[in-house]
């Protein structure tokens, strides 16, 4: 029978929530910088590497701290949930902008 380490899952989830929020905040910030830049590709690539390096480093640190991959499951679940919320928020904002544009007759 599989022994599920709920403490490790909760620790991974607790660490994963703020890390995922920082990851998507960094994505937002990097996109804004890139859109105002003359070389957006370089900025987007740099932003991606920095965000991914931080995300993976903390993930590996949590796994090494707990000594089990269950913490990685909680970490990934937190990232997935924050991603779903970020996508839903972006879709709502896009619908709001579209609705306001249609009402103004543009």
Reported as a pLDDT band with limits 50, 70 and 90, residue 99 is: low
| pLDDT reported for residue 84 | 96
Contacting residues for 74 by C-beta, under 8 A, at least 6 apart: 8, 9, 10, 11, 12, 13, 14, 16
DSSP label at 36?
T
Distance in angstroms (rounded) separating the CA atoms of residues 9 and 6: 5
Distance in angstroms (rounded) separating the CA atoms of residues 9 and 81: 14
Q: State pLDDT tens for residues 9-66.
A: 999 999 999 999 999 999 999 999 999 999 999 999 999 999 999 999 999 999 999 9
**102 or 63: which carries more pLDDT confidence?**
63
Question: Does residue 103 surpass a pLDDT of 90?
Answer: no
Question: Does residue 102 surpass a pLDDT of 80?
Answer: no
Phi and psi at residue 105, to the nearest 5°: 80, 25
87, 26 contact by CB (below 8 A): no
């Amino acid at each position: 029978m599989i022994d599920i380490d709920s403490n490790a899952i909760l620790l991974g989830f607790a660490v994963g929530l703020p890390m995922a929020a920082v990851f998507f905040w960094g994505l937002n910030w990097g996109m804004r910088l890139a859109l105002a830049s003359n070389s957006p590709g370089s900025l987007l690539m740099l932003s991606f590497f920095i965000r991914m390096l931080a995300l993976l480093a903390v993930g590996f640190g949590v796994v090494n701290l707990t000594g089990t991959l269950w913490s990685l499951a909680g970490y990934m679940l937190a990232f997935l949930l924050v991603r779903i919320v970020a996508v839903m928020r972006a879709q709502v904002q896009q619908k709001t902008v579209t609705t306001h544009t249609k009402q103004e007759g543009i």
